[in-house]
Structure 1
């Protein structure tokens, strides 16, 4: 298998401990999608896994390969072909974005001329071409995040690891960052692994999710696990569920929508059409009830992730 054909990251039986804490515990997983979201609660092992993939920590046991290369024995080559965008502030405030990118490109093996050219290209791509010579210390948080993304891309990596890329951004900055991240895998052919706590970010930028729990694989699923618009829905309301369901059935029966209480204490609708949802809203308002929850009967990404974090999810899926 060539490195081109190899999974972005692949590990088997990967374990790493820090004293009595097991950060990774026999983790076995392969990242084969163009863009993968790495999810899990705090302490699940995400940061340790990314550090191990970059060769910054050496696993106690198991194997870890990045683009087909041994992450521990071929650290220099891995870093030459992988880009990393850290979550925490790490940029030298007295340097400009241009200087940062040129310097890091040189460290990754590019000559001076190529480093300057690549720095200009990536700073233009992330929208910093007009501000590239200002000191980073004068940048807004959004501009600093874009600088961190630019330095991760400046050497033309085959894979980038992004740690909370939208952290601290305002809505406009977050939107710009998500579009940049999605373009990497979709248009530029760069494989992406994104660690994030924001499920909407993962849904918009990734093809697959890997969920870690206590240092092990809890779930691996395609992102597209949602329900069809207009399909069956479940409604949770305050008060007497049976009485609400009976009243709602009278309104939705003529529309061909079946209504019945569920064993979970919710009200199930056979179809979540606009008219049916309007009737739910109107009836709840008339009866002074709180609408606590309304979800599709199909399992969405949130359901998969929450189940996995709580130990209820399947480890792998289609």
Structure 2
């Protein structure tokens, strides 16, 4: 694996110099990409240009995310259109491309009667690593995903969360430049989901591996991703940096320790409009005097200010009208 900027990290031995190269401007590019299954159109003239980093591919179940992944891996031919991954044409250079790409499928696809060490080492050998290197990388990869102590147990005895980690390990073991993760938190409880998202974030941030993560949960995108791609019914709805989707609004968010009811009364007494959202107070930002009023009122009531910032728009709030419009059109 590489550290930030593509430099080799200490997790794995440095890869062969022949495998070191600079990522292209776009790790994924598609033009008019279409895939039909009989009368069903899974992808409909999809145009994408995804830069390096961690990208969230979001859409409801059946939106076309898994179909897109299979095409980008060269496993499924498109009906029409073109696709390039890491600069490789997926239709003509699929086998060459796959040595630089890791794939974590959505569904359970693991053999139950072998250990994690045996399975991940086997996948490393399939990817072209010699025996000694495969075993060494397998041990370090399983340590990275948190399965080192359990690596000799049969996979059938693993929990759902552990099986998800095995799937991530086999996608990482050959030191890919790009990971495709299809619903990596599928079937996990909240604690397991948090752990998996943290693992995905660290893999991308610490080792410089670009990631495209498919999910239908917008909260996961907000926690992990730099870029967002939204598809619905096989069509592109919206794409861009996460910051463009969650820009600051004209609402001030305030959280205090102390008598917030008294704070609300004081602020309203000064002519300010105050609303509640759980433990937060929300005020329209109409100038610096609003900030001054909150500060002075909180100080006068001996309330400690925990948060005082412009509220950011949530992804769910932004996409709801677009998704509803797309459903209405269908």
1:258 aligns with 2:273: yes
Distance 1:146 1:125, change over 3 A: same
* Alpha-carbon offset, residue 197 of structure 1: 1.5
| Equivalent position to 1:45, from 64, 74, 78 | 64
* Residue 133 (structure 2) aligns with: 114
* Residue 251 (structure 2) aligns with: 231
* Residue 155 (structure 2) aligns with: 136
Alignment of 1:20-35 (within 5 A): 20-35=39-54
* C-alpha distance in structure 2 between counterparts of 1:172 and 1:42, whole Å: 23
* C-alpha distance in structure 2 between counterparts of 1:9 and 1:228, whole Å: 29
Give the TM-score taking structure 2 as reference length. Answer: 0.75
1:184 aligns with 2:203: yes
| Equivalent position to 2:320, from 297, 306, 310 | 306
Q: Secondary structure at the match of 2:74?
A: coil
* Alpha-carbon offset, residue 173 of structure 1: 1.9
* Alpha-carbon offset, residue 5 of structure 1: 2.0
* C-alpha distance in structure 1 between counterparts of 2:132 and 2:78, whole Å: 38
Tell me, yes or no, if the aligned pair for 2:103 and 2:179 is still in contact at 8 Å. yes
- Aligned length in residues: 270
Structure 1 residues without counterparts, runs of 5 or longer: 234-248, 261-267, 277-295, 313-318
1:69-120: per-residue Cα shift (whole Å, max 9, x none)? 0111111112111001111110000011101111111111111111111101
Q: Aligned-residue CA RMSD in angstroms?
A: 2.7
* Residue 156 (structure 1) aligns with: 175
* C-alpha distance in structure 2 between counterparts of 1:227 and 1:31, whole Å: 20
* Alpha-carbon offset, residue 178 of structure 1: 1.0
Q: Secondary structure at the match of 2:135?
A: helix
* C-alpha distance in structure 1 between counterparts of 2:234 and 2:27, whole Å: 19
* Alpha-carbon offset, residue 7 of structure 1: 1.4
| Equivalent position to 2:38, from 6, 11, 19 | 19
* C-alpha distance in structure 2 between counterparts of 1:37 and 1:159, whole Å: 13
Q: Secondary structure at the match of 1:310?
A: helix
* C-alpha distance in structure 2 between counterparts of 1:214 and 1:304, whole Å: 18
Moved over 6 A (4+): none
Alignment of 1:51-130 (within 5 A): 51-130=70-149
Q: Secondary structure at the match of 1:102?
A: helix
Q: Secondary structure at the match of 1:78?
A: helix
Q: Secondary structure at the match of 1:47?
A: helix
* C-alpha distance in structure 2 between counterparts of 1:125 and 1:194, whole Å: 19
Tell me, yes or no, if the aligned pair for 2:250 and 2:284 is still in contact at 8 Å. no
Tell me, yes or no, if the aligned pair for 1:33 and 1:208 is still in contact at 8 Å. no
* C-alpha distance in structure 2 between counterparts of 1:308 and 1:31, whole Å: 21
* C-alpha distance in structure 1 between counterparts of 2:247 and 2:273, whole Å: 18
* Residue 279 (structure 1) aligns with: none
Tell me, yes or no, if the aligned pair for 1:64 and 1:71 is still in contact at 8 Å. yes
* Alpha-carbon offset, residue 257 of structure 1: 2.0
Q: Secondary structure at the match of 1:11?
A: strand
* C-alpha distance in structure 2 between counterparts of 1:221 and 1:255, whole Å: 40
